A and B are shown apart, each in its own frame.
Chain A
């Protein structure tokens, strides 16, 4: 009994591989029609691959950027929590420099660095040249938070912040624009918004980090910026780094309690500030790209359904065209399931070929687009499994009705068909 069932299994495999070859031959017989039929599947699968691949690439790119200014980073912004990015809340006045100092002084366990930030854009003049620069008032800890390295000279220290010193640390692009390549500007004067500052340090080139480019920025002591340039006592935001990514939630909680207390707010829902971590930003991004990917995939799925209907249509035509062939096969001993299998396999071969072509096309397109818009190119195993899996399922679903129709033909009707 066991050996006979093994023989049956072997013959099923043998028959299936034979039927796949037969199906290929049938499809090769009318190559143009085959390609046109597969087009829907090709477009559907390549769109899905393209969307998934570009989505992953974009997410990876933005995640890298966020991580580059620290997975341990926590930022506190003025204004109540709101949906969407809160950058526009900088105009709110609820966050004071004293809040930042209080966070520093509170010795909250897990905090590594704290720096408030107050910025503006202003014209900087030196050496007879001028440049419109991002002016950032920060504290010494900011250099550590943003991993800013000084090329020559030094970053300002706490004493210079406390003393409202008129000193500046400038980015390399600013130096190049004002003093030229290979200059030594440390010790020279720079006028910002008409006020003189002495350059005490030049940063190493770093490139875009998150949303700011330190190379094109001028860093001043925050106290100096607030008093001399802006005449304000509120700050744009406070940046805090935790010792480790694991400490982030606890630190956020502590800061929230401290600030609520300082602002005399009892209901946390009424908080006049927003605390966010880079991790939040990454997960928010993940949600956004996930929703976007799902949406676009749904559209691509529609094209797969349309493609499937195309397959069904052509398979019905094929069954009619090959009625005599079906009659002959039945005459020489094909059973219902043999005919069913043959046409089902043909439909699946059709859709899987389309799926593989679509995968190749989608991969090629996403590679080209990734390199064009400079995001990392990645193609996942999931995408390949998806392409083959979905296209086989489409083939089975839309091939079933024509195959059943073929299998159900009476031998004499099929033989007599003109």
Chain B
């Protein structure tokens, strides 16, 4: 069996809120293989956002091990995590995806700037990615001149430019009307068909339906997993 791209083992996360410790995750075991399209679902307070933060290397677990591509990244420092996020993970958020006062082109180039990619290469890769989402003619626009759906497509383009191992989408359709939301989800499905691993965080069933596998969380624990990978692991 191929090693998992994402491997969470005994992950817990406890937030200190005043005098009381709040356990957001109480022991998550989850493996996601390369090329999977997984939806992580759950009501608010279920721990799905915390799971997203840990998978996205935005936060570190209180205990447990997180391996991304075989590498343990649960004990890395802030700058090392920044490098992981830069190289290995592409993010699409629900809102505030693009920098204001900045052109679409520069927004898409930004992760490559942090990676030290040359200007010429950044330009060509950004153009390529924008073409993929059908927005090459909007390259010079500022983000406030775009519709909600266009903003999400630019974010998808940006998530691709570093050819990451994983695309992490956190409620990517939460601010969109149904029609546009379905359109955006088609993009994710197409990306997955091209071989990209996608982890989608959502609380909407019809959005999660685009994924092949649905993992449900409640009170900091996984309560159901439609995936076979999970079953094999146990």
Residues of A within 8 A of B (CB): 7-8, 10-11, 14-15, 18, 22, 25-26, 28-29, 324-325, 327-336, 338, 410-412, 415
Contact of B79 among A15, A328, A329, A335 (CB under 8 A): A335
Interface of A is mostly: helix
B residues near A328, Cβ cutoff 8 Å: 93, 96-97, 99
Cross-chain pairs A/B with CB under 8 angstroms, 16 sampled = A14-B113, A14-B119, A18-B113, A324-B96, A325-B96, A327-B96, A332-B114, A333-B83, A333-B87, A333-B115, A333-B162, A334-B82, A335-B83, A338-B114, A412-B53, A412-B58
**A29→B118 CA distance, assembly (Å):** 28
State whether A7 touches B116 (Cβ < 8 A). yes
- The list of the 4 closest CB pairs from A to B, nearest first, reads A333-B86, A11-B116, A333-B114, A335-B82
Interface residues of B in 141-165 (CB under 8 A from A): 158, 162
Known contacts A324-B96, A333-B82; 15 additional CB pairs below 8 A are: A11-B118, A14-B113, A14-B119, A15-B116, A18-B113, A25-B102, A330-B85, A332-B111, A333-B87, A333-B111, A333-B114, A333-B162, A335-B78, A335-B82, A411-B59
B residues near A7, Cβ cutoff 8 Å: 116
- Give the shortest distance, in Å, between B161 (CB) and chain A (any CB): 10
B56 at the binding interface (Cβ < 8 Å): yes
What interface size band does chain B fall in? 20 to 34
Residues of B within 8 A of A (CB): 53, 56, 58-59, 78-79, 82-83, 85-87, 91, 93, 96-97, 99-102, 110-111, 113-119, 158, 162
State whether B59 touches A15 (Cβ < 8 A). no
**A333→B100 CA distance, assembly (Å):** 18
- Give the shortest distance, in Å, between B120 (CB) and chain A (any CB): 11
State whether A25 touches B119 (Cβ < 8 A). no
> Chain A residue with minimal CB distance to B84?
A333
- Give the shortest distance, in Å, between B71 (CB) and chain A (any CB): 17
- Give the shortest distance, in Å, between B146 (CB) and chain A (any CB): 16
A residues near B96, Cβ cutoff 8 Å: 324-325, 327-328
- Give the shortest distance, in Å, between A201 (CB) and chain B (any CB): 79
State whether B113 touches A331 (Cβ < 8 A). no
